[in-house]
Structure formats: C-alpha cells, structure tokens
Structure 1
Amino acid sequence: MDTIYLNHPVDSCSLNCTPTVMALGYFDGVHLGHQAVIKTAIKIAQKLKVTTSVMTFHPHPKEVLRKQENAMSYITPLPDKIKKIEELGVDKLYIVNFTREFASLTPQQFVDDYLIGLEVCHVVAGFDFTYGALGKGTMETMPFHARNRLNQTVVEKLEANNEKVSSTKIRQLLTTGEVDDVTKFLGAPYSIKGVVVDGEKRGRTIGFPTANVKPIHRYILPNTGVYAVTLTVSGVHYSGVCNVGFKPTFHDQTTEPTIEVHLFSFNQDIYGEEVTICWHHRIRDEQKFLNIEDLIKQIHLDKEAAQSLLLS
C-alpha cells in the first residue's frame, strides 16, 4: 500500500494520480462499520478495474478545532490505523494533515481539490460523513458538488448489540472497561502496543512477576480494573492477567495508571521489548486490600478466572 501525506493546498499534479475508488472517513478504530465502507470501495474498484484508495485525516479534528487541556487519545493511533487499513487490501492511503486552514475549505473546494483533483471516480462513505467548513457538506450534497464528475455510494449504519457501531461507542465502552463488547464492535479484541519497562518489582516478591508495559502511542486505556489478556512478544502469544490502575494497596495517590501483566507459564527477560496487549475479558474492578495476604489470595482467584475465560 502506498501511503501519501497531503498538506493543504494539495498539488495533485505532482502525485501521478490514476482513476480510483475512494473510501472517506476518519476511521479511528477501523471498526466493523469502517471496514464495511472500505470493503465496499474495494468491491466497486474491482468491478471498475481501478485502484482502491482511502482518505483519512490527522490529527483528529477535535484536537485542532477545540481547546483541550489534555492531548487526545485514540482507539487506533495513526501507525495502527495505517496497518489495519493496509491489511484490508487497499492500494493507496491518503493522510491529510488536518489544520484550521484545511477545515475552513468550502465543501465545493474540498470536492474539487481532494476528490476530483485526485482523479476519484467513485466515492464511498458512511451515511454520517461530512466535509467542508462546519461539516456543511454531506453525502446528500455530494452529487451537487461533484457535478457529475464522480459517482458515490453511501454505506448505511452497521449495528452490533442493537446499537450503531461507532468510534464514540467504542470509546465509551473502553472508559467503562466493557472490553468484551468492544470486541463485537471492532471485530477483534482491543489492543495496544507498548514497551516493557522497569517497575517496582513487587510482583516477583509475592510470587506473581509482572511485565510493566508503557504504551508507545496515545491509546485510550480500558478503565481501571483486572482483565484477562494475551500479550504478544517476538511473534509469540502468551495468556495472562492484567491490572490497569493505581495499585491502591501500595499507593495513596498516583497520577498515571500503570499496566501490569502477569503471564502464565512464562519465565523470560523481556525488558525493553515491544509487546502487544489484547484485552479479552474484564474480571473485576481494582480494589484496595488491607494486607498482602488478601491481595495474594485475590490474585490467585484472578488468575484462575482469566485462565477459564481465555479457554472458553
């Protein structure tokens, strides 16, 4: 897949464009609804015997247009989004640098410069896709702005658990720790990439050594709690139990949650290694224990629960 970064104003003459079917969207998560849009574009492109392209935007419009105290977190930070889109079989990915200047384009300018100018012959997008300043362009206005220069297909909403599959819903589920439902919306378990770093090394003293994982991108972390997970390192998958939180048994207050994974039947040194954690099931909330003995008893129960859940 060719990945092309675009800055406004775009110089389409330098891009050697050929006719293409383009899927449009922000695609955070590349969830089942996004996949339906992209797969529809691929089918149409195959029928027309042209390439398939995707156009997405970075950073998120909210980061640019709204004043936020904290940097925004993502379901799929840009490197992960690129990988997931490539795995779907797309030929070309356009990543538009989202700036205030780009956001001020009229719907007509967007269609002229970023669709017609890039030789898009057919556009595919979700029913709620908008374009141009203040989102005034919609899939209903697209034929007017396209002036018969391209065709379009609108992909209607996809539902799971009787709810619309959306990035907003997935974000909500992650903030409440409902990772089982997130899997139904994403089509795969939620995952993050991180590096194993030095921790307090307390786990090994109580018989449960853990890998302390620091995310390498701005991921949305599942809500604090204990989860059944798998961890992948050097291409090998291991099952484990993960605590996301502040370790209240040992700390009165910390500012950043930590990710600690205890792997079953594992005895390797993986400090400094890049790993991927997949969240499969939530086991319980994080809690504070009165003593180490109670904590150890609960960890044994958590381990049994995780093993049972991951085998089911």
Structure 2
Amino acid sequence: MRVVRIDNIENMQSMEIPSLVMALGYFDGVHLGHQKVIGEAKKIAGELGLKTGVMTFDPHPSLVLSKEKKQIGLITSLETKIAEMEKLGVDYLFIVHFTKEFAGLHPQSFVDQYLVDLNVKHVVCGFDYTYGMKAAGTSETLALHGRERFGTTIISKETFEGEKVSSTLIRSYINAGDMEKVPKLLGRFYTNHGKVIHGDKRGRTIGFPTANVKTGDEEIIPPQGVYAVKVNVGEKWYNGVCNVGTKPTFHPGKTVQSVEAHIFEFNQDIYDQIITIEWHMRIRSEKKFNGIQELVEQIERDKQTAIAYFANL
C-alpha cells in the first residue's frame, strides 16, 4: 500500500497516480460500516481494472473546527488506521492535512481538486458523507459536482441493535467499559498501544508484577476498572488482566490515571518496549481495599475470572 500525504493542492500536481476507485470518509476505527465502503470500492476497482484508493484526513476535523480545540478520543490512531487499511488490501491511502482552509473549500472545488485531479474514476462513500464548506456537499450531490467525470456508489446505513454502526456509537461503548459489544461493530477487539515505563514496582512485591503502560494521548482508554485483556509482546499474545485507575489503596489522593497490565505466565524485562493491549471484558470497577491482603485476594479472583473467560472464548 502506498501512503500519500497531501498538505496542499500544489503537493498533488507532481503526483503520478493511476486511475482509482476512491472510498471517502474519516474512517475512525475502520469499523464494519467503513469496511463495507472500502470493500465495495475494492469490488468495483476489480471489475473496472483500477486501483483502490481511500481518502482520509488528519488531524480530526473537530480539533481544527471546534472552539475548544479539543480532540475527541480516537478509536484508531493514524498509525493504527494505516495498518488496518493495509490489512484490507487498499492500494493507495491519501491522508489530507485537514486545515481551516481545506474545510472552507467550496464543494465543487473539493471534487475538482481532490477527486478529478487525482484521477478518480469512481467514488464510494457512506450515505451520510459530507464535504466542502459547512458540509454543504453530501453523498447526494457527488454526482452533480462530478459532472459525469466519475461514477458514484452510495452505501446504505449499517445497523446494530437498531442503531447506526458509527464511530460515535463505538466510542460510547468504550467510554462505558462495555468492551464485549465493541467487536460486534468494530469487527475486532479494541486495542491500545503504548510503551512500558517504570512505575512504583509494587506489583512484584505482592506476587502480581505489572507492565505500566504509557498510552497515546489521542486514543480512548476504557474507564477505570479491571479488565480481562490479551497483551501482545513482540510477536506473541498472552492472556492477562489490566487495571485502569489511580490505585486508591496505595495512593488515596492521586488523580493521575495509570494503565497496568498483569501478564499471565510471563517474566520478561520489557521496559521501553511497545506493547499492545487488547480489551476483552470489564471484570469490575476500581475500588479501595482495606489492606494489601484484601487487595491480593481480589486480584487473584480477577485473574481466575479472566482465565475462565479466555477458556470459554
């Protein structure tokens, strides 16, 4: 897969791009609805003998357009999104630098400059796709602005339990800790990546050593609690439990949240390594215990709950 970053219109003029079927969207999560759009683009590309392209944006439009300049929690970082696109067999991934100037483009200018000039012969998007200044361009106006220079295919709404499959719905499940629903919309378990850093090393003194993980700021972290997780170290996956919280038993006044994974049957030194946490099930909320023994007993129960969960997975 070729990744093409587009910073401005001039940046595009020297590109040699083959004829494309282009899937349009922000694609946060690359969820089942997104996969349907990209799958249809691939199917049409195969029928027409063309390459498959996907156009996305960075940063998230909310970071540029909202007054608070606050980015919503992402389901996929840009790096994860790129990796998922490659798994789907995309030939070209175009990452447009999202700016106020880009957001202010007239819908016709967006079509002329970012589709026609990129040699797009067919466009695929979801029914709710918008483009151009004030989102004036919609899936229904693409054919009008295309002026018969490319074909269009609009993908209808995907639903789950009566609701539209969307990044917003997936975020709501993650933020609620309802991790078992997420794969039904995402098509895979939710993951976070992070570097293993030094912590207070108290876990090893009570028989449950943990990897203290520094995750990226832009991705969503599930809410405080204990979870059954899988952890990828190197090329191998391990079962484990992960605590998200402030460790109130030891730090009653602490407000800074940490992510600590206890990996089953694992004793390697992995400081400074990047690992992946795959979230499966929320076991319980975080709580303050009356002493270390009470905490140890609860962690052992959490471990047995996770072992039973994975045995039945």
Band the TM-score falls in, shorter-chain normalisation: over 0.9
Gaps in structure 1 of 5+ consecutive residues: none
User: What residue in structure 2 maps to residue 247 of structure 1?
Assistant: 247
Q: Tell me the secondary structure at the aligned position of residue 180 of structure 2.
A: helix
User: Which residue type is aligned with residue 127 of structure 1?
Assistant: F
Q: Tell me the secondary structure at the aligned position of residue 310 of structure 2.
A: helix
1:68-147 pair list within 5 angstroms? 68=68, 70-147=70-147
Q: Is the 8 A contact 2:197 2:212 kept in 1?
A: yes
User: What residue in structure 2 maps to residue 25 of structure 1?
Assistant: 25
User: What residue in structure 2 maps to residue 177 of structure 1?
Assistant: 177
Distance in 2 (CA, whole Å) between partners of 1:140 and 1:179 is 35
Q: Tell me the secondary structure at the aligned position of residue 238 of structure 1.
A: strand
Offset at residue 71 of structure 1 (A): 4.6
Q: TM-score, normalised by structure 1?
A: 0.97
User: What residue in structure 1 maps to residue 166 of structure 2?
Assistant: 166
Q: TM-score, normalised by structure 2?
A: 0.97
Percent identical: 51
Q: Is the 8 A contact 2:62 2:71 kept in 1?
A: no
Q: 1:8 to 1:113 in 2, by over 3 A?
A: same
User: Which residue type is aligned with residue 158 of structure 2?
Assistant: L
Q: 1:192 to 1:102 in 2, by over 3 A?
A: same
Q: 1:11 to 1:260 in 2, by over 3 A?
A: closer
Q: Tell me the secondary structure at the aligned position of residue 140 of structure 1.
A: helix
* CA-atom RMSD in angstroms: 1.2
Count of aligned pairs: 312
Q: Tell me the secondary structure at the aligned position of residue 185 of structure 1.
A: helix
User: What residue in structure 1 maps to residue 304 of structure 2?
Assistant: 304
Offset at residue 279 of structure 1 (A): 0.3
Offset at residue 126 of structure 1 (A): 0.5
Q: Is the 8 A contact 1:239 1:263 kept in 2?
A: yes
Q: Tell me the secondary structure at the aligned position of residue 193 of structure 2.
A: strand
Q: 1:12 to 1:208 in 2, by over 3 A?
A: closer
User: What residue in structure 2 maps to residue 197 of structure 1?
Assistant: 197
Distance in 1 (CA, whole Å) between partners of 2:5 and 2:220 is 25
User: Which residue type is aligned with residue 198 of structure 1?
Assistant: H
Offset at residue 188 of structure 1 (A): 0.6
User: Which residue type is aligned with residue 260 of structure 2?
Assistant: E
Does residue 295 (structure 1) correspond to residue 276 (structure 2)? The answer is no
Distance in 1 (CA, whole Å) between partners of 2:159 and 2:53 is 25
Q: Is the 8 A contact 1:240 1:264 kept in 2?
A: yes
User: Which residue type is aligned with residue 247 of structure 2?
Assistant: K
Offset at residue 11 of structure 1 (A): 4.5
